[in-house]
Structure 1
Amino acid sequence: MIIPESGQKVRRLVVSRALLACCILMAGLGLAVLGYVVSDYSQLSANQDALMRLQVENSQQRHDYQHLSMEFSRLRQEMVLLAETDASIRRMADIDTSVDDLPPGIGGASETEDDAVLSDIQKQINDMRVAIELRRQSQEEIRSLLNDRQSLSGATPHGWPVKGWITSYFGVRKSPYTGQRKHHEGLDIAANTGMPIFATADGVVARVETSPGYGKMVVLDHGYGYRTRYAHNSKNLVKRGQRVSRGDKIAEVGNTGRSTGPHVHYEVLLDGVPIDPRKSL
């Protein structure tokens, strides 16, 4: 029944059961369709959000991969340079020049790159950083070895202390004073009085003194157990504690002490024991 505004005729509307049922059914279908659309839209929206997240993650992974690839290439190049330098230093030191195999390069990114691949690359980079540090330590050790060798070479007596000729050799000889056989602990090198006497190795002046037997004498300490003695000088030109280098003038030839003529009595001692100086001339 429909009741209009006052003064108008009341109308009566009769709806059959079938029509009512049809309306209810249509309303139910409409609600179902609406629910499906809303649900499908929500699922689509969620899928779009997930897709966007995946795209962001994929973009970040590609960025990380490119960054790690560049870092790997940089470290690999550094490793190559270190290997070349290492081989050069090892050749100088005359030791094994074998070079460790370098790690392979990294290919370009593909659609299947994931966190596991990035983690593997990061591990390779960490391993290479360790290898580079070990290579640097090895080079420092070799440089230290070369420095020690250079120091030892400079400290080892070599060459003639004076320009002259040998008049008495190292070993057992007949004493010019007593005629008895006696061990001679150095070389006697004859030269004119005043001729320069030179240090035969780098070192420090250990003794500058005059004694009845050696006369005016200079003793140099070269380290590594080496010492040299220069005796019967006419003049000593260095002071105790003074540093000298091979070839420096330290004294002049003379005939002081127990001597039969101008010469240099030259001794080489290793760990306090006289050795034959001829091996170093």
Structure 2
Amino acid sequence: MRKKFNLLSDGLIYLTLLLIVLFIALPFSYILFSSFASNAEYYARGFFIFPQKWTINAYGYLMMNENFMHSYRNTFVLTVCGTAISLAFTLLMAYGLSKRWLRGRRFLNILVLFTMIFHGGMIPTYLVVRELELLDSYWAIYLTGAIFPFLLIIMRSFFASFPMELEEAARIDGCGELRLLLRIVLPLSVPSVVTIALMYAVAHWNNYFQAILYLNNAAKWPIQSFLRQFLLDSDTGMLRSVGGYEYGPPVKMAAVVVTALPLVLCYPFLQKYFNQGMMIGSVKG
């Protein structure tokens, strides 16, 4: 009876997981395969999974659309530079706050925790950015999202669990704090660093509200801000043809696919670091 009960419970678990996967995969499949359909088939069939006639008209339209490709390049610049800045600030601050001999360490940690609970608000932050003359500049996005307190606490907890004997041996050999961080601590912290970098990269890639708020020039918008405007515009507000490719609902589907594609391709290669890094930061912290 116990064996039958275990088999039944396992079957229910697998069935539930299968239903969840189907529930999640169905919308993604519809978006992906609809992007390869023609406008006529999309309007004629309504909901479908596989198109009867495959075409790359939607992707051709996007590749020929200068505004879309320009915003795509903007996103890569924002993601790479923003992730590098955020990672540098987070690692340096986390390493400093992990040292028990640092004066005022407790007070600074309380301030970091305070920012997780309370935020200055959109309007005060905007006024600060305006007074610093950072409007219509990427620095407004880099600096306002430079450090995520939650990720800072994860890295601080990991650095605090680093073996003191190894650090003391390096100091005896004449290694300074910055050299100790760059040459010894960081190479041994690759999983945690990659995890933090991945989280920052996803946040910068998906950022659209700050771009709309701080960037007045639409030519500087990242792909997410452009995609929002692209999906909200009516068909009559878009160009009917670009380079011989026609605009239509499949173009919107293709825009969603192309926007999500880089993160979808990168995550499988970084998943092992992501899982390992989160376990290190949570258990040892």
Give the TM-score range, shorter chain: under 0.3
Structure 1 length-normalised TM? 0.21
Pair member with larger Rg:
1
Greater RCO between the two (CA within 8 Å, min separation 6)? Answer: 2
Structure 2 length-normalised TM? 0.21
Task: Give 1 or 2: higher helix fraction.
Answer: 2
